[in-house]
Amino acid sequence: MEAMAMAAAGAMRPLALLPLLLFPLFLLRPTAFASDTILANSSLSDGQTLVSSGDIFELGFFTPPGSTSPAARFLGIWYKGISPQTVVWVANREPPVSGTAGNLSITGTGGRLVLADGSGRVFWSSAPPSNVSVRSSNSTARLLDSGNFVLVDGGGGGLLWQSFDYPTDTLLPGMKFGWDLTTGLDRYLTTWRSAGDPSPGDYTFKIDARGGSPEGFIWYNGSAPPVYRNGPWNGLRFSGEPEMEPTNPSFRFDFVANRTHVYYTYTASSSAAVILSRFVLNQSSAQRYVWLDGGWSLYWSVPRDQCDQYAHCGAYGVCDAGTSAMMMCGCPTGFEPASPRNWALRDSSGGCARSTPLNCTGGGGGDGFLRMAGVKLPDTTNATVDAAVTVDQCRARCLANCSCVAYAASDVRGDGSGCIMWSSPLVDIRRFSYGGDDLFVRLAASDLPTNGDDSSRKNTVLAVVLSLSGCLLLALGAFFIWNKFFKIKGRFQRTQRLTSFDSSIPLNQVQERKLEVKTRHSTDLNITLFDINTIALSTDNFANSAKLGEGGFGPVYKGELDGGQVVAVKRLSKFSTQGLDEFKNEVMLIARLQHVNLVRLLGCCIHGEERMLVYEYMDNKSLDTFIFDKARSSELNWSRRFNIILGIARGLLYLHQDSRFKVIHRDLKAGNILLDGDMNPKISDFGVARIFGDDTDSHTRKVVGTYGYMSPEYAMDGVFSVKSDVFSFGVLVLEVVSGRKNRGMYSNGEQTSLLSHAWKLWRDGNALALLDEAVAGDGGAYSRSEVLRCVQVGLLCVQERPEDRPHMAAVFMMLGNLSAVAPQPRHPGFCGDRGGSTSTDGEWSSTCTVNDVTVTIVEGR
Ligand SMILES: *[C@@H]1O[C@H](CO)[C@@H](O)[C@H](O)[C@H]1NC(C)=O
Ligand SMILES: *[C@@H]1O[C@H](CO)[C@@H](O)[C@H](O)[C@H]1NC(C)=O
Ligand SMILES: *[C@@H]1O[C@H](CO)[C@@H](O)[C@H](O)[C@H]1NC(C)=O
Ligand SMILES: *[C@@H]1O[C@H](CO)[C@@H](O)[C@H](O)[C@H]1NC(C)=O
Ligand SMILES: *[C@@H]1O[C@H](CO)[C@@H](O)[C@H](O)[C@H]1NC(C)=O
Ligand SMILES: *[C@@H]1O[C@H](CO)[C@@H](O)[C@H](O)[C@H]1NC(C)=O
Ligand SMILES: *[C@@H]1O[C@H](CO)[C@@H](O)[C@H](O)[C@H]1NC(C)=O
Ligand SMILES: *[C@@H]1O[C@H](CO)[C@@H](O)[C@H](O)[C@H]1NC(C)=O
Ligand SMILES: *[C@@H]1O[C@H](CO)[C@@H](O)[C@H](O)[C@H]1NC(C)=O
Ligand SMILES: *[C@@H]1O[C@H](CO)[C@@H](O)[C@H](O)[C@H]1NC(C)=O
């Protein structure tokens, strides 16, 4: 046991059977061994661990916390010092070693690692080296700081085996996810069977390299159809994952596809610090985490919503989770629901069919292409790819081949190049409200919108329109019939299900006062339908004294229910265009948004034209009652403020990308951030914008928002996106830091707005001066770097151009990881100080004339 290369892990878990002998050995020679290595003549037994040289990963034996058998021991790798233990790799997924007799050693010839017990029973051994001959029996196995466990030939240093080639459920930075086509090695993720059982589960995430353009698929039990598809790599990202955009310089995503290799890999690194990041597949989703703030922060996950379900809308159907219409599925221009009846019943799996057959006489001269912008490209399994041609050649090729139904650029970098051509029905298309690729769908000339041809590329046609004559009318008709059919006496008609419509529910099972939502993976969610009398009683008949405030969508009252539960009741203003069913649907969507940084919706109340939402009540009221109040602002010291900023970011990140339904808040402001008893922030009023109906017509729509928080493009053009929320978030951050209200976009005399004030201070290198006196005077009890980072992030968020503003994921990353590199902000939107003295940038101030714009503002307070 001379060169034993281990650290004792006894302190990690109270294992009664730990071989106590190891302790003296370890204590005698604390630094005598390279503790990350097993040499040819040594071994690793239960109770000992290897620790990578930078103290990042640890390898040893463990029992998963959820294990039904406490004696089941697995050999695995986890993060050192992170609690709860986060396992990233397991050697013997099945069977476990029972008891502590497990022992990992290198075989006599040096070619393999073997896990055996005292009796010589082998539980696991590493795959034999492929196409490498072992030159010396003197091999070593080492745990690297990347989390890779490698077996290296002592003779020439050649790599004989590495754990990175055999991933379990976790992908680490630097790992290759996909194929080595020369050896046939396929690296893919398989879920654990359960939290206590690392044996291979039912879901796998694999790169399919057979198709024209390789794509990643999540499969259930290996059988078709897939559960999820991430889309072809378009040079920058997977087509189905627009969030992958390289906004954060600490992350790099790469995809290699050539004759010998097809794989995806990512790196997470910053010159200043180690970034711990992992991508893990479990029974319900694939998630990317980053270690922040002493915990794993969810950075991104799929499936995001129903539109991520493979082929949710059938062939040629397009899924749009951002629509406020009842149905997420639509048919592109030139297509109609293949079975209008099923679509009306919200079974869209039959997809869409062409309205007019293609004309392929004369070389297809009669056909043209419809540009669908911002979509996830359809399944490429049967598509053909040619990276060597231009997009124009691609178009010509597609037009010339009667079986070609669509084309797209295979590489979107620059102006786009390469060619993907589809000749079988297009499946699994979804629309993104941000990002996504252009797809050109072949249509008969008569079906082309007058200027929808891609020759006018600038023209951003809203390509996905519900064919009015077809499914919308039918859907409405069907709902009418459906309502009649299911109407039962009383105030409330029936239960609604979001994901499926089950006409076989017997009427006597229809509950009268509960709306019920069934989701595929979570438990049932019950929302109470409150009676108007209950609400009126609890709020003293909406007395002024019970009024808590007024948000963008109507007044809020405090109420106390019979059982003593205190609630906040939001009485929606009357310009909602929605019908009853749509309203209930939206309420259920909102109720499904659950996060510690969101106020919980308890139920709703419907009475005639009245619509009300009932929320949990927050003791400390709203953020604005603290930060803008001289007397109370000192209650919020810096660490509380920073916590509030992080919490809001977390909540907004959830709304934007982690919830199953992407939600844009549209009225984020200090008055809508509520504080619980411990001063934890909770966003309120989220999702309510959805209730106010169709958003597709930007000219007639009312702009709902609050003076001072609206982004320029939203206030002026009514264009909103997640980036408008990011703008409002930036204003909020600067307000929390400074304790000052943003005066808003309309300059009032010499008064400068908070944004331009902050910008000037930042530009002059004096950003700390922005900090609220109430905090700065606090004997310096604040972190300079946190304050500076908040100002920087705040300014990044309020930049003029939406595309310059970061996504919330990047915002959260920058706030949570002060060592991450953050870009330098540019001018904020809305100069605010027009006519002020310091505007040095003529071009910029000339774009700041917003005074003439008429916006309907629903004023807060
Ligand atoms: C194990 O191998 C190392 C290096 O080859 C050698 O120095 C050491 O003496 C060996 N120990 C035993 C117990 O054989
Ligand atoms: C572990 O296995 C090696 C090789 O089979 C053996 O030499 C060693 O004695 C074993 N150690 C323990 C503690 O069982
Ligand atoms: C092994 O590798 C060599 C070159 O590295 C290659 O020529 C040979 O075809 C490979 N053999 C197999 C079986 O992959
Ligand atoms: C075995 O490997 C060790 C460390 O890699 C090296 O120091 C030693 O010289 C090697 N011995 C032989 C016989 O190859
Ligand atoms: C999964 O596949 C196995 C065979 O591969 C089959 O026996 C089992 O029933 C399947 N499970 C489910 C839930 O489909
Ligand atoms: C394929 O890509 C890999 C990784 O970048 C590279 O090592 C290899 O040489 C490439 N092979 C060919 C045939 O281009
Ligand atoms: C998968 O992971 C997510 C995030 O940690 C968790 O919420 C969910 O419950 C997990 N699902 C299962 C089936 O374990
Ligand atoms: C099909 O295209 C050809 C060539 O452009 C044209 O002459 C013919 O009229 C078209 N037929 C139909 C039915 O549109
Ligand atoms: C690809 O072609 C096969 C055989 O024609 C068909 O069964 C399959 O559904 C097609 N897949 C896609 C995604 O078009
Ligand atoms: C047309 O496309 C199909 C499917 O991609 C292909 O099999 C066929 O060879 C093409 N025809 C011509 C003339 O290029």
The ligand 10 atom at the shortest distance from the C-alpha of residue 397 is 14
- Pairwise CA distance, residues 191 & 202, whole Å: 7
Which structure tokens are listed for 755?
């944004």
- Give me the residues of the chain with pLDDT under 70, please: 1-34, 245-249, 271-273, 293, 322-327, 344-346, 362-365, 451-526, 551-552, 574-578, 660, 690-707, 715-718, 743-752, 778-780, 830-861
Q: Which of 278, 279, 284 to mutate for ligand 7's pocket (most ligand atoms within 8 Å of CB)?
A: 284
Angle between helices 808-816 and 638-653 (to 10 degrees): 150
**Domains 1-166 and 513-616 belong to one CATH topology:** no
Give the chain's largest Cα–Cα span: 88
Catalytic positions:
667
Residue 363 has a pLDDT of 56
- Pairwise CA distance, residues 310 & 728, whole Å: 34
Q: Separation of 79 CA from ligand 3 center, angstroms?
A: 36
Q: Quick one: which H or E segment has residue 602? A: strand 601-607
Residue 51 has a pLDDT of 95
- Pairwise CA distance, residues 234 & 468, whole Å: 33
- Pairwise CA distance, residues 692 & 196, whole Å: 46
Residue 28 has a pLDDT of 30
The closest of 153, 147, 213, 142 to 178, measured between CA atoms, is: 213
The closest of 168, 172, 202, 163 to 188, measured between CA atoms, is: 168
> CA triplet 798, 600, 643: central angle to 5 degrees?
45
User: Pairing relation of β-strands 318-320 and 429-431?
Assistant: parallel
Cis peptide before 303 (omega within 30 of 0): yes
Answer yes or no: is the C-beta of 423 below 6 A from any ligand 10 atom. Answer: yes
- Pairwise CA distance, residues 346 & 313, whole Å: 10
Q: Which of 381, 403, 423, 429 to mutate for ligand 9's pocket (most ligand atoms within 8 Å of CB)?
A: 381
Ligand nearest to the CA of 6: 2
Report the CATH number of the 1-166 domain: 2.90.10.10
Answer yes or no: is the C-beta of 538 below 6 A from any ligand 2 atom. Answer: no
The closest residue, in CA terms, to atom 11 on ligand 3 is: 131
What is the third-level CATH fold of 624-859? Transferase(Phosphotransferase); domain 1 (1.10.510)
Class of domain 513-616: alpha beta
The ligand 2 atom at the shortest distance from the C-alpha of residue 45 is 13
Per-residue model confidence as pLDDT tens digits over 838-848? 333 322 222 23
Cβ atoms < 10 Å from Cβ of 366: 14
Q: Separation of 368 CA from ligand 8 center, angstroms?
A: 12
Which structure tokens are listed for 557?
């009252």
What distances in angstroms separate CA 393 from CA 159, 388, 402, 408, 416, one per listed residue? 45, 10, 16, 11, 12
Report whether 379 contacts 428 (CB < 8 A).
yes
> Which residue ranges have their beta carbon within 6 Å of ligand 6?
256, 258-261
Close Cβ partners of 49 (under 8 Å, ≥ 6 residues apart): 6, 7, 8, 9, 12, 58, 59, 60
The closest residue, in CA terms, to atom 8 on ligand 7 is: 284
- Pairwise CA distance, residues 472 & 344, whole Å: 8
Edge-first strand listing for the sheet containing 149-152? 37-38, 140-143, 149-152, 159-162
The closest of 406, 401, 411, 440 to 421, measured between CA atoms, is: 406
Ligand nearest to the CA of 261: 6
Q: Which residues pair with 329 in a beta bridge?
A: 319
Which structure tokens are listed for 564?
């003593």
DSSP 859: -
Q: Separation of 775 CA from ligand 9 center, angstroms?
A: 63
Q: Separation of 101 CA from ligand 2 center, angstroms?
A: 10
Assessment of whether the complete model's pTM goes beyond 0.85: no
Q: Dihedral of CA 163/166/170/172: which sign? A: positive
Answer yes or no: is the C-beta of 140 below 6 A from any ligand 4 atom. Answer: yes
- Pairwise CA distance, residues 305 & 226, whole Å: 15
Residue spans of the domains in the chain: they are 1-166, 314-453, 457-494, 513-616, 624-859
Residue 707 has a pLDDT of 61
The ligand 2 atom at the shortest distance from the C-alpha of residue 120 is 5
H runs (alpha helix) in 764-799: 773-776, 784-797
